[in-house]
Amino acid sequence: MAIARRNVRDFGGKNKYVYCRDVQFLPASLNKGQAGNVPTAQYIRIVTQLSILSQFKEYLSQHQPSLYRGAKDASLALQSLLTRRSVQEIVFTRIYRGGGWKAEETASGVGSSLVNTANIRNRLETFLKKYSIQTLLDIPCGDFHWMQHVDVGRTKYIGGEIVRGLVDRNNRLYRSENRSFLHFDILTSRLPEVDAILCRDCLSHLPLQDIVRALENIRTSTAAFLITSTYLECTENQDISMGKFRRINLMREPFFLSAPVETWEDFDGQYADKVLAVWKLTDLPFPAS
């Protein structure tokens, strides 16, 4: 039975299955360029099992959400134990590899396109000069897409990322005398001695508890400034599972940061209240006393 490409519909999205009228549910990756091939019985069996598993997962997530979350957490914990990687690393590596935030220009979403970062690039250049910043830690640096267009002058740049594939890629493409990329987890890694830490579009993807851990970790560094994303009109900080997104306001419960020293408009094409805000590290109420 041949798989004609015209009979294949890609549903994209979450489970990345394609529906083929002639055969079964086929994973998109296996189907690429397969037009005209005859799938073997074993192949169809695997694919059918995958499909049943995916439908079961979908059923569980809709009808037994807490059971589903528990099973997901347990599976992540097991994977973390077996691979000796943190759950954070597993989740964000999966998002990166699966193209979860892939946009036309960058792996970090449309908010990181050159058009959408024009203002913050400008403001960052001014900031580096104004405060004579010698060293900047950009964590997370993602794929270094917009940042490569910032004129950092003589400032030493360190990009930190939890996804090793991005660190290797960035070092291969962009490493220079004044610029390097390191594998860091903003929650747990001992951060290098720098003058300022930039943390754009990261905390809004973390559960509340992890945001607190990140802020506590940042607070232990020697940096004078933290520049990070916040949403000024957001009135309530909701909890999410790791890797999802919601707006956060760092001046609201449970973070209670004071008013920032500067805010830079960071309109990402979606949220008009999004800014990069600059805090003095000494103003951060972390760790909680």
Binding site for ligand SAM (CB under 6 A): 88, 92, 96, 101, 108-109, 112, 139-140, 142, 161-163, 184-187, 200-202
Residue 278, C-beta contacts closer than 8 angstroms, at least 6 positions apart: 127, 225, 226, 227, 260, 261, 262, 263, 264
Q: For residues 175 and 92, what is the distance between their CA atoms, to the nearest angstrom?
A: 23
| Minimum distance, C-beta of residue 23 to ligand SAM, in the bound complex (Å) | 36
| Minimum distance, C-beta of residue 11 to ligand SAM, in the bound complex (Å) | 24
Of 57 and 85, CB closest to ligand SAM:
85
- How many degrees, rounded to 5, is the angle at CA 204 between CA 274 and CA 241? 150
| Minimum distance, C-beta of residue 69 to ligand SAM, in the bound complex (Å) | 19
CA 37 to each of CA 8, 27, 93, 227, 266: distance values in angstroms, whole numbers, following the listed order: 13, 15, 32, 53, 49
Whether residue 247 contacts residue 234, with contact meaning beta carbons closer than 8 Å, is answered with: yes
Of 17 and 92, CB closest to ligand SAM:
92
Of 25 and 144, CB closest to ligand SAM:
144
Q: How many CB atoms are closer than 10 A to CB 151?
A: 11
Of 157 and 184, CB closest to ligand SAM:
184
Of 64 and 122, CB closest to ligand SAM:
122
| Minimum distance, C-beta of residue 139 to ligand SAM, in the bound complex (Å) | 6
Of 8 and 187, CB closest to ligand SAM:
187
Q: For residues 270 and 110, what is the distance between their CA atoms, to the nearest angstrom?
A: 9
Nearest-CB residue for ligand SAM: 142
| Minimum distance, C-beta of residue 140 to ligand SAM, in the bound complex (Å) | 3
- Tell the burial category of 182 from Cβ atoms under 10 Å away from its Cβ (0-12, 13-18, 19+): middle
CA 37 to the chain's CA centroid? 37
| Minimum distance, C-beta of residue 210 to ligand SAM, in the bound complex (Å) | 7
